Amino acid sequence: MKMAIILAMCLACAATAATEDDGTVGVRPYELDWAGRTQDDHPPLVDFEDMTGWTVAVTNSVATLQRTREQQIWGRYVAKLTYRGEGTGRAEVRILPPQPIPIRQPFDAVSLWCYGNNWGYAPDPSTPQVQISALFLDAEGREFAVFLYHVDWTEWYLLHRRLTPEQIERVRNGASFVGLLIAGGRQPEDRVLYFDNLAVFTEDFAPLTFAPRPKRNITPFPGQSEGTNTGPGQLPFPTTETTILPPVSDPKAATQTLADGEGVRFICSDRTGVVEYAYRPKTGRWDDIEIVWRARPDTEALRFRPCMEGGVLLASASGPALPERGELLSARLEDGVLEARWRLHVANAQAEVTYRFRLWGKSLVMDVLAPGGNVAEVRYGRAVGLKNPRLVTHPFYPADGGRPATAVFDGPSGPLFLMGNTDWYRTNASSMWAVNVSDEGGVTYNGGTRYIPLTNGKRNDCFERFLLTLSPVFEECLPAIPNPESPWKKITGTHVWRPHGAGNREADKRFWADIRRHGITKMVVTDHETMWRDGGESFTFRTRAAPGKGGDEGAREYSRFMQDTLGFVYGPYNNFTDFAPVNEYWSTDMIARDPQNQLQHAWMRCYAPKPARAVE
């Protein structure tokens, strides 16, 4: 430790006098100039224009700190940190002002511009992704750190972080900024980061307005919000009210709905066999569902429970919880729909939930309606009673945590397939999730949906449609995709598509001319994001092509070559899921927030735009 202190003092001596460097002056991000953004969004607490007295303190590291113009963004100067690891323990570098910088007013957010040194999509072991935190003292003199992010980008990026509720309380009476902490730089070679404009501020959440979208092409559940889909017109999808309902291949399939006390039996018979879904309201869970399969009406029945511990999970103090007790308020069969209304209880929470069951084709349709924000999850649960089960996942069917699977198991006369599909057109949830487990406790073939608190702490009202299908025909379990026929079908169905990362335009021309010379003439080429950027600048929410590739005129000339000279179908790259802070249209109001009210990260050096902004 003594050696580390001595080393820090030596380094501090080398870094205190921030003098002019060798005269090298970088170029600020050109998009800021396009937008006339000469002032940062928030006044900086630290602008690094005068670094007299600044020092570095190190642990298992060697570091130097300079004022420089090698990179540019705000003002004339930025801070340059050169660092490397030394020793075997955790490597840390602290960038320290001459004395704590007082902050007189309360604040709830911190921002810092940083010029990074690696790309997360191509990890470089020689340049570890260091973690950056801002260090503060509260009014009581106790230090705390606000973690900003890990470095996984190059060029300039705005780190933005809200304080936790506990930290916000700690700075209610003011605070002091005491430094930056850079941790994890254990590489033996020097690496460089640049910093500018550290700001502390209170975020302003002014009301937002969004352009109305066309109305949805389906009837929402009673009481379900239309969201932003309140404008004129109607979306062309989905093309049917039954949305993703799996198909039935036998046109002569017949269905029956039979009352069974307070419950119901739904039966579908076709040339492949007879499937029966029985629901008897006893617990308020989907343990109450049973499936019966017969290869023919007169053969022995196969019975199993497809959704044990499924159904609604309540939002409790300890997390999502299965109901411990259910009060059946009513059960009524009308027009082929069994509606069961429940009051479900767990230790410290309750909710009124309506389940609606019906049979469409071979699928049991399970609707869930539970306004009030008391539902944390809706789960498929697990299938119990399957013989020799195995799971088959679907590669083009994504969900949080995994993919929905088809459970395959032995039936009386061949394999049977069981699958659960969540209607993504109707869900009101925060996310759809999946898990695939087959063990002694049963078979989990899908997960369900989650209701995560919004930034105001409340959950959405719960509205769901789950479709459960059993069939000996695999494709009868897969969801339909009810989209209208594409007007480009004749082109996309007969051509080869390739997204192409634009590099040198003349080299690109030679490449595609050679492709055509080899006889590949039916090509659809979309110019990837490098059409819009030369390096690490933005590549979305912009209408001007990369200056280094000739700008708009270069893009126009290249487009004419691809279409007129080669005869290819060619178009630009579009993306509404990434937004870089150097963009000329940048605003934090355009960015989605996670449940902790943090800006939602996306691709490297980007945040995720609010989906509602994509159509404006």
- Do 100 and 19 share a structural domain? yes
- Do 56 and 179 share a structural domain? yes
CB atoms within 10 A of CB 316: 17
Confidence band (pLDDT; 50, 70, 90) for 445?
very high
Residue that terminates a domain, selected from 477, 501, 529: 477
Read off the tokens for 344.
Answer: 């479900």
Given a cut of 70, is residue 21 above it in pLDDT?
A: no
Residue 240 belongs to a domain: no
User: Using CA atoms in the order 19, 21, 24, 28, what is the torsion angle rounded to 10 degrees?
Assistant: -40
Instruction: State the distance between the two ends of the chain, measured CA to CA, in whole angstroms.
Output: 57
Residue 518 belongs to a domain: yes
Sheet hosting strand 405-411, strand order edge to edge: 325-334, 337-346, 349-360, 363-370, 462-471, 414-422, 405-411, 390-393
- CA-nearest of 468, 355, 360 to 404 is 468
- CATH, residue 270: 2.70.98
The 10s digit of each residue's pLDDT in 249-299 is 999 999 999 999 999 999 999 999 999 999 999 999 999 999 999 998 888
The 10s digit of each residue's pLDDT in 217-256 is 999 999 999 989 999 999 999 999 999 999 999 999 999 9
CB 447 within 8 A of CB 380: yes
- Do 497 and 400 share a structural domain? no
Read off the tokens for 162.
Answer: 């809200």
- Quote the CA–CA distance of 353 and 373 in Å, as a whole number: 11
- Do 388 and 358 share a structural domain? yes
pLDDT of residue 151: 98
- CATH, residue 18: 2.60.120.260
- Do 472 and 531 share a structural domain? no
- Do 423 and 361 share a structural domain? yes
The 10s digit of each residue's pLDDT in 455-502 is 999 999 999 999 999 999 999 999 999 999 999 999 999 999 999 998
Residue 242 belongs to a domain: no
- Do 520 and 424 share a structural domain? no
- Residue ranges making up the domain that contains 50: 2-201
Question: How many distinct helices (H) and strands (E) make up the chain?
Answer: 6, 37
Residue that terminates a domain, selected from 138, 170, 201: 201
Cα–Cα distances in Å, from 19 out to 51, 63, 273, 330, 507? 9, 17, 85, 80, 44
pLDDT of residue 211: 84
Residue 234 belongs to a domain: no
Report the share of the chain in percent with pLDDT over 90: 90
- Do 429 and 290 share a structural domain? yes
Residue 15 belongs to a domain: yes
Total-model pTM? 0.90
The 10s digit of each residue's pLDDT in 103-132 is 999 999 999 999 999 999 999 999 999 999
Read off the tokens for 178.
Answer: 């005491």
Report the share of the chain in percent with pLDDT over 70: 96
Note the Cα 126 to chain centre separation in Å.
29
3-state secondary structure of 237: coil
Residue 213 belongs to a domain: no
- Evaluate the omega torsion of the peptide bond into residue 207 and state whether it is cis, within 30 degrees of 0: no
pLDDT of residue 267: 98
Residue 226 belongs to a domain: no
Confidence band (pLDDT; 50, 70, 90) for 10?
very low
Q: How big is the chain by its Cα radius of gyration, in Å?
A: 30
Report the domain count for the chain.
3
Query: Average pLDDT, stretch 43-70?
Result: 97
> Phi, psi (5° rounding) for residue 289?
-100, 135
- Do 470 and 523 share a structural domain? no
- CATH, residue 505: 3.20.20.80
3-state secondary structure of 443: strand
Residue that terminates a domain, selected from 477, 510, 525: 477
Residue 54 belongs to a domain: yes
- Do 460 and 332 share a structural domain? yes
pLDDT of residue 201: 98
Read off the tokens for 30.
Answer: 């050109």
- Do 454 and 494 share a structural domain? no
- Do 187 and 46 share a structural domain? yes
